[in-house]
Amino acid sequence: MTVRCCRRIAAGILAYLVGLMGGLAGAVARHLRVTRNSPLTMWEPMYVFFRWLFRVSFVIWGRWKIKGRSHLPSNGGYIVAANHVSFIDPPIVGGALIRPAYFMAKAELFKTPVFGDAIPLVGAYPVKRGSPDRAAVKRTLDLLSRGEVVSIFPEGTRRPPGELGDAESGFGWLVYKARVPVVPIGITGSADLLPRGARFLKTARVRVHIGEPLNFDDLWDAPDSRQAMKEIGVRTMTAIQSLIRTADDQ
């Protein structure tokens, strides 16, 4: 049996399991009326299941490697900040982390049948793009104050492979208000694993490089808060860029 044939069989099994568990998660969510305020700990079994399912998939198709897990804080709230080039990036980040994490996701995804009902069960909560979303901001600050982990893509949207944009101003504002560390992550190969428009995973070489937590203690009491927020974004994206450059060395 060829490797290609094995991957096709694995893809079929994966699609079946994802569909089965997605449907089950959606049914549970509708039955229990799960909201974005539901604590993730209630659904850790579902979160763990999907995390391991994706991890296996990334090993088979992505040949992925992770570097720097020792940099992840074992307790306390912090923000994970990664570059974003593919729809598969959120599962890649979630699979690389040790503790369960919450994810901001565009509000449109929650209107998708089944999928929109299921994603709250794995820690996603909606954020409206293009305008300030007070509910999403409050939710994020509440989570961080409780010692949870929140994953954010500072650029706000996907970028073409090889292109890294600036952090949106809201990212620096959020970090400044929360006053928590930021763990930068550089991802390479995810655009090959799931290219734009693709429905299934492709063979790729995925690398995830986790950097040391960034602390901004020198900025909390800066006289110019706007400049401090901008500096938070600059330092974060600079760290991510450095991690992307070294990720392929793994």
48-94 pLDDT, tens digit per residue, is: 788 888 999 999 999 999 999 999 999 999 999 999 999 999 999 99
Higher pLDDT, 44 or 8: 44
* Sign for the pseudo-dihedral over CA of 140, 231, 69, 157: positive
Phi and psi at 129, nearest 5°, equal -95, 150
pTM above threshold 0.85: no
Domain of 143?
Answer: 3-247
Of 11-15, 47-51, 178-182, which has the strongest mean pLDDT? Answer: 178-182
Closest alpha carbon to 7 in 188, 205, 202: 202
Q: Which two tokens stand for residue 170?
A: 């809201």
Around Cβ 88, how many Cβ atoms within 10 Å?
24
Q: Binning pLDDT at 50, 70 and 90, where does residue 234 land?
A: very high
Around Cβ 178, how many Cβ atoms within 10 Å?
20
**How far apart, in whole angstroms, are the C-alpha atoms of residue 244 and residue 250?**
11
CATH of the domain at 128: 3.40.1130.10
Instruction: Give the total number of structural domains in the chain.
Output: 1
